[in-house]
Structure 1
Amino acid sequence: MNIGVGEALLIALCGFVTVFLLLIFLIVVIKIISAVVRTLPAISAFINRMFHKGGDKSAAPADQAPAAPAKEEEKPSKPWDGKLQLIDVDEETAACIMAIISDETDIPLDELQFRRIQAL
């Protein structure tokens, strides 16, 4: 079976169109999946706030021990003097933490203000 040049070009064009349509379809699917994954933490936090924040306290089981009072954070006795306070953290670890935060938030390091880094 011999095909002419015109038919060969038409078949090639159909192949190119098919490939590009599938690539566009994959781009759309990836964008949708990434949007869903990006919103999952927000959705999860919203659901947790909705069910746990204003929940009925009388519905709690009687055998459950009362929650311990929240530990008060240490408040500095004087206003912040612009120096970074490291608590149980060495300088190398603090530098890594600051670099990671800068990278994840896409905020330049010179625009961030770190007041205190404390090991938990």
Structure 2
Amino acid sequence: MSNNQEPGLVWTVEPGEHATVVHISGEIDMGSQPEFADAVSAGLDSAALVVILNLGEVAFLGSVGLRVLVQADYEAKQAGRQVRVVDGATIVHRVIEVTGLDQVLSLYPTIEDARSA
């Protein structure tokens, strides 16, 4: 599945038996927040117990994107599922760390690490 409605944001869903990976690239700001929320929802709509959000190609992560991540993590936990965030992009890791959300979200440097956790 791929969706490119917002020119600054591109995402694809890679379904898997044990984990679904949502690959996201571009900028996550007020303009692309609805599209980002759709991408995350597409992952959460899968049957997998683990949803991996690959933000390794994200160039900007604004506060609206952080809100989507926290909400997704909360919803997944309520359903007995997990959201794992790949924050390989330095800027994404830095934003999550500065806000203290590294204490809330499950962060991994690579998709492989997130899959094997």
Q: Which has the larger radius of gyration?
A: 1
Query: What's the TM-score once normalised by structure 1's chain length?
Result: 0.22
Query: What's the TM-score once normalised by structure 2's chain length?
Result: 0.22
Quick check: which one's helix share is greater?
1
